[in-house]
Structure 1
Amino acid sequence: MKRLNILFIDDDEVERMKFSRVCSRSNYKPTVIEAINGEDALSKLENPSSDIIFLDLNMPKMNGIEFLKILKADKNLRIIPTIILSSSDNYNDLKTCYELGIAGYIIKPLRLEDYTRNITTMLDYWTNNELLN
């Protein structure tokens, strides 16, 4: 079974801790690299070793959509599957992200059980996805 390298981009420290905790308690034990905004994430992608990206939309400096436009314009980086994990349920955000080529969009659930189930489902899918094997 492949062990994923995940780039998790969110400016909220509590969200980063929650995501890392869910990942470490999963059966997959992925490596999680954290970034606090789009600029930070781009610097961590200079040596691309990320298999998948989880991206928040609402961040300072460079928001998720700005980051996504840069990522998907880069021929070496655009193949990295990107999942939006955001509190935004704005239809225009959703539509724009899919037009830019995301692999999924999850609205952050309030309940930890729902959050854990959503993240675990993504880990299961992407750990077994042929693109990443």
Structure 2
Amino acid sequence: MDKATFVYDGDCAFCTTCANFIERRVPSRATVVPWQFADLDRLGLSLEQVEEAVQWVGTDGSVASGPDAIALLLRDAGRLWEVPGRALQLRPVGALAWPAYRWVSRHRHMMPGGTAACSLPQAQREKLYGPTGRP
């Protein structure tokens, strides 16, 4: 792969708001894409992985999830963004980051920009709203 890829849940309004912030403010060279429009097979990702957490797929095919993926995205942006990216990879910070990430993930429908659809697993969203998961 010639570019790293950051994959998020495009059916979640909160996740999309965060991804839009990344695209506007974080100068990463990575492609930022919702998993619903990504070629998961080419990226080496499973549906379970992308439903569980954001994913970073490096140019070498390495994969990181959740806060580890966010740390690599920030480090890729360089300059001032590299500092929080490196901090997020420190053992004590990472030990706190995963529980915080899981809490936000479970409550993303309550976050700014979140909707009720954000709280549903993909299979339930498709039953209610069709393959795109949007009403």
User: TM-score, normalization: structure 1?
Assistant: 0.33
Name whichever structure is richer in strand by fraction.
1
Name whichever structure is richer in helix by fraction.
2
Greater C-alpha radius of gyration: 2
